Structure 1
Amino acid sequence: MVAGGGVNKLFAFGLGFSAQELAARLAAKDWQIAGTARDEANVARARAQGYAMARFAGEPGNREVPRLLQGTTHLVHSIPPGHDGDPVLAHYRDQVATIGTLRWIGYLSTVGVYGDQGGAWVDETTPPKPNSERTEARVEAEAAWLRFGEEIGVPTHVFRLAGIYGLGRSAFDKLIAGTARRIKKDGQVFSRIHVADIASVLEASIAKPNAGAIYNVADDEPAAPDAVVAYAAELLGVPPPPEVEFADADLSPMARSFYEGSRRISNARIKSELGVKLRYPTYREGLASLVPSR
């Protein structure tokens, strides 16, 4: 409950994979949940869970969104910026600014803003080094939200998420579908985070707001992508796909861009400041929790 006898209400701009995990936890604690999704099918699925939803794919003019924003106490935003910048600030800045009950804002960004660090460890003091228009837009959106939060006097936080995995979105799904690839690039490492641990970090921040804070959200062990696929195959009891050298891999421009940055993400701040204890500190524990029955 909040001061004055009201209820806590989470509004999620982009009630996707990560925000759904947080929403489910908070709904179990009697929070109201509202938000947006890009298409009607996802809107319908969320409504079936008891959430108040509107469709929003970055376009202006949706009258349902301002109505659903009323009474929001906590706002999480996971929609990536477009060519015209952040779609929420573009179309709903004034409506968010005038939510009298709002006490916390979380903007979900990406560790991609650090660009290529040559495999070095980075923390929140490391200057962003975006290497694409997409990550440049993320850096700009992060800054815009932190400025906005300061302007309206609501604690606003940026969460830079590592590669997200969880039930229905892991190496197992690609192995079973026959689409998994074991791409090898010398020196390449990625950091990852289980979706359940993302929700834990967000809950911890909600309990302990720190206006303007930026948090890296990653597990303890950055690892080569081919090693993760091989471990998943071992757990599944199937042969791993053959190794493919990065130079020989037929990748989409988007997929190739992920391999253009190698860095190790430090998660020390979520532990020291928020007291987070990861449920899945490495990909091994995380994958072990997701092994499908066959």
Structure 2
Amino acid sequence: MRLVTLGHGYSAGFLTRRLVAQGWTVTGTTRDDPSGGGPARVAAAGAAPLLWPGDEGAVRAELARADAILLSAGPGPDGDPALRDFGRDIAASPARWLGYLSTTGVYGDRQGAWVDETAALTPATTRGHERVAAEAAWQALAAAHGLPLHIFRLAGIYGPGRGPFEKIRSGTARRIIKPGQVFSRIHAEDIALVLAASIARPAPGAIYNVCDDDPAPPQDVLAHAARLCGLPVPAAEDFATARMTPMARSFYAESKRVANGRIKRELGVTLRYPDYRAGLAALLDAGDAPAA
């Protein structure tokens, strides 16, 4: 069995390791890097790297014999790059599973209310609007060609090398308080668990929220991480007066609790890390080492 990943980033690496252990062959695209870091990172996860842009012919050859295709390259103002460069090839591919990694940002701000996959898409940020447009474009291609498209709306991703411990230890962690702010999260290993379950049980047209069971205020997560390290909890900062970059501030533009019942009911998934407490404890026990 063969998986092709267009945009082989952090989350794709966890799926690669899981599928390679099951006997799959994985090819992943990466950008050229003068230091060779992109191809080396893809290879370290167990996938064969291909440059994109650069090796489009080889990428098309892999798509022509893929059993599954994972779309994880983010869209921009000009749309989805994978759709632009490889839409025709994907439409003609024999793959029985096509997965698109989107974001729960498509739901916008719900002032802390719960949302599931049936909720209206009302993004509040530029990134959210781009994801809504990309989802619609992939759905249109799938409808036109009968493609087995599955959409995964990911919550805030954390995992090895992406936990809060380094900033806490260095004293650079900031505990920003915005009343009523709540985020949903997902450990990267659980993303891979959900994707693998979907590949094993395709349901073309399905949309899944991918998040854990416990949406929580960001300051609570940071405080818990500090206590796990045996270090002082960082001082509270008022969001209204905190000095932040526009990008950092934009993450506080949305507050919602994302429901994950569908991945359990339809895919039979039992999350390995059902809340941030379990996930952070595991990261600390493992030394919070970066993933390849």
| TM-score bracket, shorter-length normalisation | over 0.9
Structure 2 residue corresponding to 1:191, chosen from 172, 177, 184:
184
Whole-angstrom CA distance in 1 between matches of 2:144 and 2:206: 15
Partner of 1:261: 254
Q: Is the 8 A contact 1:146 1:157 kept in 2?
A: no
| Amino acid corresponding to residue 232 of structure 1 in structure 2 | A
Partner of 1:148: 141
1:161 aligns with 2:128: no
The residue correspondences of 1:19-168 to structure 2 (distance < 5 A) are 19-40=12-33, 41-48=37-44, 50-56=46-52, 62-99=56-93, 101-168=94-161
Whole-angstrom CA distance in 1 between matches of 2:179 and 2:51: 43
Whole-angstrom CA distance in 1 between matches of 2:46 and 2:262: 34
Q: Which moved more, 1:166-175 or 1:262-271?
A: 166-175
C-alpha RMSD over aligned residues: 1.7
Could you state the TM-score of these two structures normalised by the residue count of structure 1?
0.92
Q: Unaligned stretches of 5+ in structure 1?
A: 1-7
Whole-angstrom CA distance in 1 between matches of 2:246 and 2:61: 39
Whole-angstrom CA distance in 2 between matches of 1:285 and 1:222: 13
C-alpha displacement of 1:133: 2.1
**SS across alignment from 2:199:** helix
C-alpha displacement of 1:63: 2.9
Q: Is the 8 A contact 1:35 1:68 kept in 2?
A: no
Q: Is the 8 A contact 2:177 2:236 kept in 1?
A: yes
Whole-angstrom CA distance in 2 between matches of 1:239 and 1:55: 45
Whole-angstrom CA distance in 2 between matches of 1:123 and 1:102: 28
Partner of 1:3: none
Whole-angstrom CA distance in 1 between matches of 2:171 and 2:88: 47
C-alpha displacement of 1:170: 0.8
Whole-angstrom CA distance in 2 between matches of 1:177 and 1:229: 14
Partner of 1:4: none
Structure 2 residue corresponding to 1:208, chosen from 201, 208, 223:
201
Whole-angstrom CA distance in 2 between matches of 1:143 and 1:177: 42
Whole-angstrom CA distance in 1 between matches of 2:122 and 2:7: 26
C-alpha displacement of 1:167: 0.8
**SS across alignment from 2:147:** coil
Query: Cα distance 1:177–1:75, how it changes in 2: closer, same or farther (>3 A)?
Result: farther
Partner of 2:284: 291
**SS across alignment from 1:247:** coil
Q: How many residues align?
A: 284
Partner of 1:249: 242
Identity of aligned residues (%): 52
Q: Which moved more, 1:221-230 or 1:61-70?
A: 61-70
Q: Unaligned stretches of 5+ in structure 2?
A: none
| Amino acid corresponding to residue 99 of structure 2 in structure 1 | G
Q: Is the 8 A contact 1:37 1:54 kept in 2?
A: yes
Could you state the TM-score of these two structures normalised by the residue count of structure 2?
0.93
Partner of 1:9: 2
